[in-house]
Amino acid sequence: MASMFFGGISGSATADTFSLGAIHIPMMKKDRYDTDFATTVTMASSIQGLLVPPSHDMVIYALAAGSVSIGRLFLAGL
């Protein structure tokens, strides 16, 4: 959930991975999760924020494309 909200606000999966990964990965390792698994979960969750409305990337894409509905992009994200 944290990755979804942070990625939606920042619009950057990279920023999400670096900022939340610094917190999530050590916490998961402390709970005895494998390092590869913790890293993979963090990376996979970081892209979810770009798909969930109100992602500003969707708005920018819709405005740049011209004929794309912002509402339909938000529904597709859901």
pLDDT tens profile 60-78: 888 899 888 888 888 887 7
Is the alpha carbon torsion for 27, 33, 36, 42 positive or negative?
A: negative
Reported pTM: 0.61
Dump pLDDT digits (tens) for 31-57.
999 999 999 998 888 887 777 666 777
Total domain count for the chain?
1
CB atoms within 10 A of CB 21: 18
Give the structural domain span for 73. Answer: 2-77
- Provide CB contacts within 8 A for 24, sequence distance 6+: 2, 38, 41, 42
